[in-house]
């Protein structure tokens, strides 16, 4: 009888462990799905504004942002860099976790780099995690911090 109770306890523990792992994975999958839908909708808005002739550079220049740093050089960051490249806005640097040292001929730096003292605004392109990023970087830099999403929404 003791062996049966012990086996049932172990089975219950294993079952509970499996259920908890599935719930954690499910939460990760749901977060990724939400993130992808969010980014899809944002991309559609950006493309629509672009089709109507609105440019990020116009927004930046109208807000006296002539020199920028780009935080995140994933898909959104690369697209922003490409859009700004032929404008009057100077991209001073990019900040990213990647091990690359340049992206589109723009230096990739860390938050501690002194070149950040020379920018008017830091544009965060990792828009899904903007609030967390803003909290983490605001004590490290003195310039304005804005989300690419806010720029597109305020065109």
- Of residues 79, 70, 81, 76, the one with CA closest to residue 123: 70
pLDDT in tens, 67-78: 999 999 889 999
- Say which residues have a Cβ less than 8 Å from residue 27's Cβ, sequence separation at least 6: none
Number of other residues whose CB lies within 10 A of the CB of residue 125: 24
Tens place of pLDDT per residue across the chain (155 aa): 677 656 556 666 666 677 677 788 888 888 899 999 999 999 999 999 999 999 999 999 999 999 999 999 889 999 999 999 989 999 999 988 776 676 778 888 877 776 778 899 999 999 999 999 999 998 888 899 999 999 999 97
Given this model, what pLDDT does residue 139 score?
A: 85
Cα(81)–Cα(103) distance, rounded to whole angstroms?
Answer: 9
Q: Give the Å distances, CA to CA, from 98 to 52, 71, 105.
A: 33, 11, 15
- Whether pTM exceeds 0.85: no
Phi/psi zone of residue 82: left (φ > 0), alpha (ψ -120 to 50 degrees), beta?
Answer: alpha
- Say which residues have a Cβ less than 8 Å from residue 87's Cβ, sequence separation at least 6: 55, 57
Between strands 144-147 and 90-95, the pairing is unpaired
Contact status, residue 92 vs residue 66, Cβ threshold 8 Å: no
Given this model, what pLDDT does residue 72 score?
A: 92
């Amino acid at each position: 009888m003791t062996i049966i109770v012990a086996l049932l306890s172990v089975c219950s523990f294993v079952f509970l462990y499996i259920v908890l792992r599935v719930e954690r994975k499910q939460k990760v999958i749901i977060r990724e799905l939400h993130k992808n839908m969010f980014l899809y909708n944002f991309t559609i808005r950006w493309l629509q504004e672009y089709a109507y002739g609105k440019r990020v550079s116009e927004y930046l220049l109208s807000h006296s942002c002539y020199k920028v740093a780009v935080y995140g050089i994933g898909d959104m960051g690369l697209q922003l860099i490409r859009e700004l490249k032929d404008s009057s806005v100077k991209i001073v640097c990019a900040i990213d976790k990647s091990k690359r040292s340049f992206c589109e001929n723009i230096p990739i730096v860390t938050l501690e780099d002194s070149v950040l003292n020379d920018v008017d605004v830091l544009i965060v392109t990792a828009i899904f995690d903007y609030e967390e990023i803003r909290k983490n970087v605001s004590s490290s830099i003195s310039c304005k911090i804005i989300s690419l999403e806010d720029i597109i929404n305020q065109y």
